[in-house]
Structure 1
């Protein structure tokens, strides 16, 4: 697809949103386009960065992610402290979180993309990720339907460092913790590869700025998973296969309202659509290639996509909603999510190698 017609189409949709929905939704769509362009243009893959570290002792991807977390925290935490109407990405420490994070880390390596990675790679035209996108949505919806049962296994109240300590101590503690992780990563990686890569650094800066813009416009941190689950829930309701009023998650006031409204009013859905558009814009300049997959690889990849969607809902987010937005806004659940997801990644990489992805 040529870039000019694509740009005109994206601009027309943004104008439509401003005119027919709200200026905020139009601006969030533009933020989403920026997020997609930054992710695809820099090939800023959370999944890839972890795989590089484990398999090649190449820390450039993870250091880029740590830089992103630090910059996003520096920008978000003062805003949360100064403007109480903004909300943090809080999730309850729970059995659901532990299990969900582990299986998300496992499945994202097999599926070769987390929530944001699946979106931008689908926008780049990579067949596996294009096929996984609707399966991910189905899994996220099923996870939401079963979430109350998982939470019944044990949970505590969410803990937000900004509201508990104040933004300055919360930010200081977060930066110290990130520095310690960076030191450990540097020790593990050794000197075989450079520590920094311009592509990852530029991507981290762009994503931190855009995530902050999302926080200011939406009043909540950047997320991905909720939009997927909402799309599938609306389809299930539309065909008469699901009654949201009979489900714990979808009968919650906010969720019950969103499932009756157009997805154009949902902030997560709008940025997700924008991410696809931004990735398409990058793909219009350079086509992404991928190796053909066998039938077995397709089957395993699709199963991983379903599990990834399901586990992301149990874990209260993916690498974006739980790790990036959770840590950057001071949620303890983000710090719990990371080591569990990384443990799952170690298993997922073994499965990935076994099936020769």
Structure 2
């Protein structure tokens, strides 16, 4: 019997390794081809994006899940790891942005009605599909059926939100407030440390240990985010790329985007004319999907088939996917572009985003069961 089991398992393992080798090789060829066709910079950005996907999926590091764990069970490890990664990025990003590096920009935005409201709705929607911006990409890359369904509507929502963005931001916003220099770094690190200490104190003693996996993930994520900043000249982001995909599709279908004040802007018109393979956020997003796919393939963990959920759960998934995209554009970013990159480069709006989205997560968690997403 043992010999027959081994005989069955060995070909399956061999096929899995062959698949991993094939797609890893294809990824490397894609990186090298992109370097040759568009420039070394773009190939490196794709490689960094794949690194994000490998880290997020390989080490089970995310944003929505740890927030859910903190809210439901007072387990702070994932949230503390997020705050630690942000602090590590800030340690380098603050002096770089303050120095003589005009090619580098921060993820800076103003706090406004649309931003706060969008962050709240995003926080609720991400708990419905159990994935933020990067999480939806990772889960879709690993074959998660809910995220595979949600992602196209995320793209549509991101495009629609950008189309209407300037109307929403016209409702009112505070002046741009950015923490800068040594004093700004001290304030940011102190705030991150205070929140980490508070959630650790809230947790029961049995839940206060930070797994080594999360420590490694935080270190890798911070390293990749800094590499992205240096190579691309801008902080790690997700949502702009998805909105651009939707805009390109709309243009291909004959839509006139000059009717949108946002897409009529010369910078965005230029993006529409260029290849997605020269858009840094798009390359990062594609890399995340590919990296997650490679990990899932390695684990033989690619999902197949739809879970048994009621019809209202699938309708909710579609609507939540759309709201993830639309709300994240109003909020001027998701957990990555606003929370992670905003705070780590000194923008006050990152803190406002965090508070609003965390509050929205409470609502999203409460709605899961009535909407058929939990038994």
Cα deviation for residue 115 of structure 1 reads 0.3
- Of 246-255 and 86-95, deviating more is 246-255
TM-score by length of 1: 0.96
Q: Are 1:22 and 2:22 matched, yes or no? A: no
Cα deviation for residue 156 of structure 1 reads 2.7
SS at match of 2:43: helix
Count of matched residue positions in the alignment of Structure 1 and Structure 2: 352
Partner of 1:62: 79
For the 8 Å contact 2:149–2:317, the answer to whether it is kept is: no
Q: Are 1:48 and 2:62 matched, yes or no? A: no
Q: Distance in 2 between matches of 1:192 and 1:291?
A: 33
Cα deviation for residue 288 of structure 1 reads 4.9
Partner of 2:125: 107
Partner of 2:363: 347
Equivalent runs, 1:210-225 vs 2, <5 Å? 210-225=224-239
Cα deviation for residue 160 of structure 1 reads 2.0
For the 8 Å contact 1:140–1:225, the answer to whether it is kept is: yes
Runs (5+) with no aligned partner, structure 1: none
Cα deviation for residue 224 of structure 1 reads 0.2
Q: What root-mean-square deviation, in Å, do the aligned CA atoms of Structure 1 and Structure 2 show? A: 1.3
Match of 1:196 among 199, 204, 210: 210
Runs ≥4 residues deviating over 3 A: 288-292
Cα deviation for residue 74 of structure 1 reads 1.1
Indicate how the Cα distance of structure 1 residues 50 and 237 shifts in structure 2: closer, same or farther if over 3 A, else same: same
Partner of 1:317: 333
SS at match of 2:286: helix
Equivalent runs, 1:1-357 vs 2, <5 Å? 2-82=19-99, 83-162=101-180, 166=181, 168-241=182-255, 243-286=256-299, 287-288=301-302, 291-354=307-370, 355-357=372-374
Q: Distance in 2 between matches of 1:292 and 1:320?
A: 31
For the 8 Å contact 1:186–1:195, the answer to whether it is kept is: no
SS at match of 2:117: helix
Cα deviation for residue 253 of structure 1 reads 2.3
User: Is the radius of gyration larger for structure 1 or structure 2?
Assistant: 2
Q: What's the CA shift string for 1:184-239, capped at 9, x where partnerless?
A: 11222231313311111111110000000000011000000000000000100111
TM-score by length of 2: 0.91
For the 8 Å contact 2:46–2:283, the answer to whether it is kept is: yes
Q: What's the CA shift string for 1:323-354, capped at 9, x where partnerless?
A: 00000000111011001001100000000132
